[in-house]
Amino acid sequence: MARHRWNKIHDHRKRCTVCGLLADQRPHPYRRQWWTEWSRNGQYWNTLQGDKTPPCQPVDAVQGA
Ligand SMILES: [Zn+2]
């Protein structure tokens, strides 16, 4: 499975240069920890609801073939 190639935007935000997945680290409202939210093409995932990092799906692979 393809790996994300992260391009750091700032300390708590990075974007995959392959699939365009955006990852944001956010401070937890109640606990002293960070949680992560991913977004891509209107889809969202986050660690608060137990999601794992979504797989890397290169745009070319979706549009091609
Ligand atoms: Zn990716």
**11 C-alpha to center of ligand 1: Å?**
18
The residues, any chain, with a CB within 8 Å of residue 43's CB and separated by 6 or more, are 54
DSSP 11-50: TTEEEETTT--EEEEEE-SSSSSEEEEEEETTEEEEGGGT
Q: How many angstroms separate the alpha carbon of residue 3 from the centre of ligand 1?
A: 6
CB distance 51 to 45 below 8 Å: yes
Residue pointed to by tokens 């999601």 = 51
Residue 33 Cα to ligand 1 midpoint, Å, equals 24
pTM greater than 0.85 (yes/no):
no
The 8-class DSSP code of residue 64 comes to -
- pLDDT one digit per residue (tens) for the chain, 65 residues: 579 999 999 999 999 999 999 999 999 989 899 999 999 999 999 999 999 999 998 766 555 54
